[in-house]
Amino acid sequence: MFCYSTPCGGGEYEVREGHVKFPVMIDSRTCGCGVWQVSGIPCKHGLRVIYNQRLDPLYFVSHFFKGAAYKLAYAEHMHPIPDPTQWPEFNLPTINPPGIKRIARRPSKQRKRGAMEAKKRKRHTLVKCSKCKEMGHNARTCKSSTGSSKAPPK
């Protein structure tokens, strides 16, 4: 709807979408965006050229997406798979998973937290002084003289 095509000659077209220009070659079924080559279904730039030329877009879809390829893929009948108890025996060694190797150090006591997980913190982050009853420090670091005198060190 917002693409504009310009014929360049020889089956080549230039499709402008906004300020970007894509070369489209209708004969080789290629587009500058690369979607048509990868998916096999025409991209919007290829569809703009196809509609401007009044061609059938189903002609430019890869034959892998058409009904004939589907019928060919499922033309043969499918054989049922027997129960694993009926499978044939082979004299091959049993492959076991690798053993668990312990690391050579003492195991950590705490689990490792994820990158987005909150860190473990103390329960109470605010402390209250028992001398002056103010928040933010404790009795040992109290600088006010209103509290009782210090006891002599033991």
Over residues 101-138, the pLDDT tens digits come to 888 888 888 888 888 887 777 665 678 899 998 888 88
Establish if 153 belongs to a structural domain.
no
Establish if 65 belongs to a structural domain.
yes
Establish if 24 belongs to a structural domain.
yes
Let me know the angle formed at the C-alpha of 118 by 114 and 123, rounded to the nearest 5 degrees: 135
Establish if 82 belongs to a structural domain.
no
Q: What is the pLDDT of residue 154?
A: 53
Q: What is the pLDDT of residue 113?
A: 84
Beta-strand ranges (E) seen in 18-124 are 20-25, 30-31
Q: Is 87 helix (H, G, I), strand (E, B) or coil?
A: coil
Over residues 85-103, the pLDDT tens digits come to 888 888 889 899 988 888 8
pTM over 0.85: no
Quote the number of domains for the chain: 1
pLDDT higher at 126 or 30: 30
Establish if 128 belongs to a structural domain.
no
Establish if 21 belongs to a structural domain.
yes
Establish if 44 belongs to a structural domain.
yes
- Structural domain range at position 32: 3-69
